[in-house]
Amino acid sequence: MGRADAAGWTVVVPVKSLSGAKTRLAPELSPAQRAALARAFALDTVDAAAAAERVTRVVVVSDEPAIELALRETAGVDVVPEVGPRGLSAAIAHGVAVARADGGVAVLLGDLPAMRSRDLDAALELAVRHPLAFVPDAEGTGTTLATARAGEPLVAHFGADSAARHAAAGFVDLVAEHPGAVAPGLRRDVDTADELAEAVALGTRLRTASVVRTLSDLAGAPAPRHPFDPQATPARADRKAAS
């Protein structure tokens, strides 16, 4: 199934306001720095999705002017404003309604800076085998991708404990069903300093790498290193469950 195939996937990416984004990166970063990272995460994620061979269209749901401006000329990407009630669930439902076409529809979180196009292609190749499917985040409690094969209604369950709620709603866990087949970059969403360090270790895309490099330069002395450097940030067990 290639880009020209009518059975290709439409991917919905909700992007929240940048001004209040990534609050769990405080106090390490200022609001402006967090907004810069959130913008880079979103654009890197959309770029990767748009370049995936199995994706025919990307629908970005956002009221953020900086996102619309940056993506205005990007082939295969449509930016649509939120309508009615605000919030992640409402944005996703609106995006799914806009996106519904002949092929499958997927919802992808907009903070996956280490995801590559091939990572998404591989997951969508698995997803087409199941009416409904999802990819849990690296901690196994949240969700980074939810999919519905052509002809299947997609009611996503993002939010607290979304992995368990997707499983309870009949979505197949692609990580459990196909061990080793889902790339880490597709599972590493970023809300905390530890998670950003893990994404950096996996290898982020260009925009995120540029912002992280700037933050590292601002951090100053080489020892201790910047808190987002994977060599300086210890692993922690206290992980989020809100994706």
Mark the binding-site residues for phosphoenolpyruvate, compressed into ranges: 143, 159, 162
Among 99, 98, 70, smallest CA distance to 83 is for 98
Residues sharing a CB contact under 8 Å with residue 238, sequence separation 6 or more, in sequence order:
none
Which tokens belong to 155? Answer: 């009611």
- Specify whether the CB–CB gap between 106 and 11 falls below 8 A: yes
CA distances from 175 to 145, 167, 171, 202, 229 (A): 11, 12, 12, 18, 27
CB burial readout 177-193, b (16+ within 10 A) else e = ebeeebbebbbbbbbbb
Residue 159 backbone class (left: φ over 0; alpha: ψ -120 to 50; beta: rest): left
Binding residues: 143, 159, 162
Which tokens belong to 134? Answer: 């999802």
How large is the angle between the packed helices 206-219 and 193-202, nearest 10 degrees?
A: 120
Rounded to 10 degrees, the C-alpha dihedral 121/103/66/17 comes to -90
Sign of CA dihedral 8, 144, 14, 151: positive
